[in-house]
Structure 1
Amino acid sequence: MTRRDLPSVDRLLQVVRAEADPTWPGALLREAVRAELDDLRGRLQAGEEREAAPPEALLRTLAEQVIARITTELRPSLRPVINATGVIIQTNLGRAPLSAAARAAMHAVAPGYSNLEYDLVDGKRGSRNVHLETLLTRLTGAEAALAVNNNAAAVYLALLALAAGREVIVSRGQAVEIGGGFRIPDVLRQSGATLVEVGTTNRTYARDYDAAITERTAMLLRVHSSNFRLVGFVHEASLAELATVAQAHGVPLVDDLGSGTLLPTAPFGLAPEPMVQESIAAGADLVTFSGDKLLGGPQAGLLVGRAALIAQLRRHPLARALRLDKTTIAGLEATLRSYVRGQALDEIPVWQMISAPLPRLQARAEALAAALQAAGIAASVTPCRSAIGGGSLPGETLASVGVAVLPGPVGAEVLMQRLRLGEPAVIARINDEQLFFDLRTVGEDETDALVTRLRDAS
């Protein structure tokens, strides 16, 4: 085949129009035709295409490829995924799945208007903060609350509003980097605050903070090491000790929990994760935490604490740039109401997964393995360990049950690729040339789809 064998743009476009969806714009068709012909010319120039084809056959093949190209481009980029990795708060897969109540609340306000900033009782302009503040203060014991678009934004807003041009005291062991290159020293510098490190990487005492306070000190900042753990010869000043120091000098104490939680994790065999209400009770003046990690709601950064500090944050110009939209507020409100009603374990998927009993996981794994075996797929039930993920509870795992699948002649990598590229996409683990599916993170309503995808991909 040579470049002379290629059809003209108009000739190929004519064939494509006859086969394409009639709602597709002409400009989209022409652009795709040009792109397909350009790609083929490039392959010819590189010597990758040598075999000639009859003109009509070539035309038909190119038209099919153009339509496939457009179909791929028009398909949504953000798509549902079955998470069989066993990582509950999987950052790359969107973190916390939302509860039925949260999804319903978001769907209810999305299509039309809402009272986002309108007081229905007084008939006057209202504030979007009221939808969440009462719930957050009730659950945490704080005086006031504010929600922004993620916890990194919450920390940055606090630093910018309360510490710009002044000093912030941080333990050397807490000047950390979290996901995405978010480094506490860099954030402090960007906010205009000056970092004052105290103590050592592994041992810091309350007296170290006390000795570093000057007239330029704006706050004491405690950063929870969400995604790593120091062990061995270590010491960290307690929040209550830091609160005593901060109160003695009249400076605020800010506690960045990263994930944060409103429920205890120890009853599930996990290490204790800092609880927001405990930070407030211990004397923190401001606490920041995430909406889409252990809280189990949509992405948000939540700030709770003293009313005077929250008021300062609300007045800062950046607060408007970081505010939440109506659908996120609706989903977060519904999530918080599950906690207020005492139904978080039953209604919020993250906590449903954390608290899932092993016998139930065992039964589900056996049913999945049997369904796969009936479809001619070699599958076996095997114990495994699930992780919390999302920068929460580093190194902590939960006993779980999964299904191992022998991929057959196609091999593990090819089978995994087929599962990733299908609808719905399936993400699992590969171990010893087997695909492994942890049932803890697979919804009961996803099992049939998982069987179908494996059957079709094998």
Structure 2
Amino acid sequence: MTGERDIRRALPSVDRVLQNSQDLVARWGHLRVSKAIRKHLDSIRQSIDAKQKPDLSILAIHSAISTALAASDAQSIRPVINLSGVVLHTNLGRACLPAAAAEAAYQAAMYPNNLEYDLETGKRGNRDVHVESLICELTGSEAATVVNNNAAAVVLVLSTLAKGLEVPVSRGELVEIGGSFRVPEVMASSGCTLVEVGATNRTHLKDYRSAISAQTALLMKVHTSNYRLEGFTQSVDEKTLAELAHEHGLPCIVDLGSGCLADFSALGLPAEPKASDYIANGIDLITFSGDKLLGGPQCGIIAGKKSLLERICKNPLKRALRVDSMTLAALSEVLKLYQDPDSLSDTLPTLKQLTRPASEIEAQASRLSAELATYLAPAFRTATAPCLSQIGSGALPVETLPSFAIAIEALNGDSELRRLAKVLRQLPRPVIGRIHQGKLLLDLRCLDCETLFVEQLPQLRDALSC
């Protein structure tokens, strides 16, 4: 006990550490540094209580506090290199913006802007005006509005048009989206009553017809973007469903999930219906995401009949779910790119990554596999291997894209492979791969910063030798 008291007496005071930490005060301020010192001194006392022998020197304490402050000041959201094999990876931010969209968001963030100001009249304006005409042009709709994501779009539509009423939906379309959010729960939160029709695998027009009553608000179809049902199946196409709805004086809406504005077949990609196809087939309202196949910022788009959009925009929830000037500025620039569809695969990062030729990826994998091997040997073996990339974010769930990866095997077992994966994630620009069948795969489909990737490789040798 006497020894512990002696050690505690040697512990410097907060003031003394502060006097020797003026460089830290100049950078982070007196208050933050003082709090960091007190916290570190408390941790030293706990170490002493645990019969440990911490370093009590001013130099060691200063170094520990400097490290702690730097760590707390580091950016929480950091850019990473996505080699996971999923292009639109929800956990990695989904779509990357084109430079013009990022610059527009930056300008909107840095300076006052005309978000809700009409420069012609000098009076208050409507923030939807910055994107509405573009959305209408690209979808064939009469009007449009934007909220913070597609789930919000569905909630806003249903709470406006179906609150207190019934909405028939096919059992096969009651999907669960990311984060365990389910269509029935989203509908319940909107204040409407779900009426399940048909069976899980087969729903017929007669099922919808028999569900229509005086309490029916609208007919709804949900695009099953997170999975696909195959085999003995039957569903009602949107044109036929819209005709049934209109026969009963009801609107018909479709939740597209991941909305597509481009002709994927023309780009050599798996076919996906375009948003404009639904409007052309008589659907009254469509909702879809801005940050999935569209390739823009996170938002939810509602497009369709003007009379319905006018009602939706008067809902008090619209204000709660609206987006800011940065989102609208970025979305506007992305939508403009769709006015030149022939250049989309060059100008829109999402489509550029999705349409990247497998031969180009293979050549890159061959180059980088040999380079990486020089920093991993002899504990690991690398090779170029064919693989399949996924589009991601629920879009085209069963379709894959041929790609190539650097496949890494650990000679000393799975634990070493996981250690390497962790070391890659701890690089200045974290590298995210995936472990599959005993190998760490670095799918290069989305690698558009090869120089940066190579410049970081020497750090692997030091990290792995620790």
Q: TM-score range by the shorter chain?
A: over 0.9
Q: Distance in 2 between matches of 1:376 and 1:194?
A: 58
Q: Deviations over 1:124-164 (max 9, x none)?
A: 22211111111011101111111111001000000111111
SS at the partner of 1:246?
helix
Q: Deviations over 1:35-56 (max 9, x none)?
A: 22333344444x4x53465x43
Gap change, CA 1:293 and 1:283, over 3 Å in 2: same
Q: CA deviation at 1:4?
A: 4.9
Counterpart in 2 of 1:379? 382
Counterpart in 2 of 1:37? 41
Contact 1:419 1:454 in 2 (8 A): no
Counterpart in 2 of 1:183? 182
Q: Distance in 2 between matches of 1:163 and 1:44?
A: 65
Q: Distance in 1 between matches of 2:330 and 2:54?
A: 58
Gap change, CA 1:239 and 1:413, over 3 Å in 2: same
Q: CA deviation at 1:202?
A: 0.9
Counterpart in 2 of 1:358? 358
Q: Distance in 2 between matches of 1:457 and 1:2?
A: 41
Q: CA deviation at 1:21?
A: 5.3
Counterpart in 2 of 1:412? 417
Aligned to 1:17, which of 16, 21, 28?
Answer: 21
Q: CA deviation at 1:64?
A: 1.4
Counterpart in 1 of 2:114? 115
SS at the partner of 1:125?
coil
SS at the partner of 1:430?
strand
SS at the partner of 1:129?
helix
Q: Distance in 1 between matches of 2:440 and 2:370?
A: 16
AA in 1 matched with 2:256 = L
Of 159-168 and 59-68, more deviation after overlay is shown by 59-68
1:69-148 alignment to 2 at 5 Å? 69-148=68-147
SS at the partner of 1:380?
strand
Counterpart in 1 of 2:464? none
Counterpart in 1 of 2:400? 397
Q: Distance in 1 between matches of 2:332 and 2:150?
A: 17
Q: Distance in 2 between matches of 1:452 and 1:379?
A: 18
Q: Distance in 1 between matches of 2:154 and 2:54?
A: 62
Counterpart in 1 of 2:344? 344
**Structure 1 unmatched runs, 5+:** none
Counterpart in 1 of 2:150? 151
Whether 1:369 aligns to 2:372 is: no
AA in 2 matched with 1:344 = L
SS at the partner of 1:312?
helix
Contact 1:169 1:198 in 2 (8 A): yes
SS at the partner of 1:294?
coil
Of 173-182 and 152-161, more deviation after overlay is shown by 173-182
Gap change, CA 1:418 and 1:15, over 3 Å in 2: farther
Counterpart in 1 of 2:285? 286
Q: CA deviation at 1:411?
A: 2.1
AA in 1 matched with 2:52 = R
Gap change, CA 1:15 and 1:426, over 3 Å in 2: farther
Q: Distance in 1 between matches of 2:28 and 2:310?
A: 51
Q: Deviations over 1:154-197 (max 9, x none)?
A: 00000111111111111111122111121111122111111111
Counterpart in 1 of 2:441? 436
Q: CA deviation at 1:205?
A: 0.8
AA in 2 matched with 1:382 = A
Q: Deviations over 1:204-247 (max 9, x none)?
A: 11111111111111111111111111111111111111011101
Of 128-137 and 107-116, more deviation after overlay is shown by 107-116
Contact 1:85 1:437 in 2 (8 A): yes
Q: Deviations over 1:421-446 (max 9, x none)?
A: 23111111224554321110111xx1
Q: Distance in 2 between matches of 1:428 and 1:455?
A: 18
Q: Distance in 1 between matches of 2:80 and 2:25?
A: 27
Contact 1:270 1:397 in 2 (8 A): no
TM-score w.r.t. the length of structure 2 is 0.91
AA in 2 matched with 1:5 = I
TM-score w.r.t. the length of structure 1 is 0.93
Contact 2:270 2:399 in 1 (8 A): yes
Q: CA deviation at 1:271?
A: 4.2
Of 415-424 and 32-41, more deviation after overlay is shown by 32-41
Q: CA deviation at 1:15?
A: 6.0
Contact 2:375 2:457 in 1 (8 A): no
Counterpart in 2 of 1:5? 7
Contact 2:417 2:440 in 1 (8 A): yes
Q: Deviations over 1:395-427 (max 9, x none)?
A: 221000121245677922222222212311111
Q: Distance in 2 between matches of 1:365 and 1:20?
A: 44
Contact 2:48 2:54 in 1 (8 A): no
SS at the partner of 2:235?
coil
Gap change, CA 1:51 and 1:39, over 3 Å in 2: closer
**What number of residue pairs does the alignment pair up?**
451
SS at the partner of 2:407?
strand
Q: Distance in 1 between matches of 2:198 and 2:436?
A: 42
Q: CA deviation at 1:14?
A: 2.7
> Among the aligned pairs, what percent are the same residue?
41
Q: CA deviation at 1:34?
A: 2.1
Output the aligned Cα RMSD.
Answer: 2.1
Q: CA deviation at 1:253?
A: 0.6
Contact 2:267 2:355 in 1 (8 A): yes
**Structure 2 unmatched runs, 5+:** 462-466
